[in-house]
């Protein structure tokens, strides 16, 4: 039963991670572009690096978290474990997103203050 749980877990978390990462990549570009004052090349470079780091962190966490699973014998245990593990990865994604947004906001405020001092 664990094999089925692992396959389902990897498929669900892969879809969530890739879909969310691409959404952040597309929609977050404008914020980075604003902070970098329209520097397209640097914005693209930073945005790609953020996406790669995001994928590595999340997919690495997914792979490592499988080791912590107990033996699954019933469908109820399977669903419970999937809910727990998928919920954990979703919380991790949300935390990463809010930390990134806080950093971007902080950088934006610093940039705004520096522009007003000139």
pLDDT in tens, 60-89: 888 888 888 888 999 999 999 999 999 988
In the chain, DSSP finds a helix count (H) and a strand count (E) of 3, 0
Average pLDDT for the chain: 86
pLDDT of residue 93: 84
**For the whole model, what pTM was predicted?**
0.75
Higher pLDDT, 114 or 15: 15
Q: Is residue 62 within 8 Å of residue 89, measured between CB atoms? A: yes
Number of structural domains, the chain? Answer: 1
- Residue 96: other Cβ atoms inside 10 A: 17
pLDDT band at 28 (very low <50, low <70, confident <90, very high): confident
CA distance 20 to 48: 14
């Amino acid at each position: 039963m664990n094999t089925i749980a692992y396959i389902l877990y990897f498929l669900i978390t892969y879809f969530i991670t890739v879909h969310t990462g691409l959404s952040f990549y597309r929609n977050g570009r404008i914020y980075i572009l604003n902070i970098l004052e329209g520097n397209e090349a640097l914005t693209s470079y930073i945005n790609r690096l953020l996406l790669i780091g995001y994928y590595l962190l999340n997919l690495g966490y997914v792979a490592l978290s499988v080791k912590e699973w107990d033996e699954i014998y019933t469908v109820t245990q399977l669903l419970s474990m999937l809910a727990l593990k998928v919920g954990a990865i979703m919380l991790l994604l949300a935390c990463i997103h809010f930390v990134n947004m806080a950093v971007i906001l902080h950088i934006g405020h610093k940039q705004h203050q520096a522009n007003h001092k000139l």
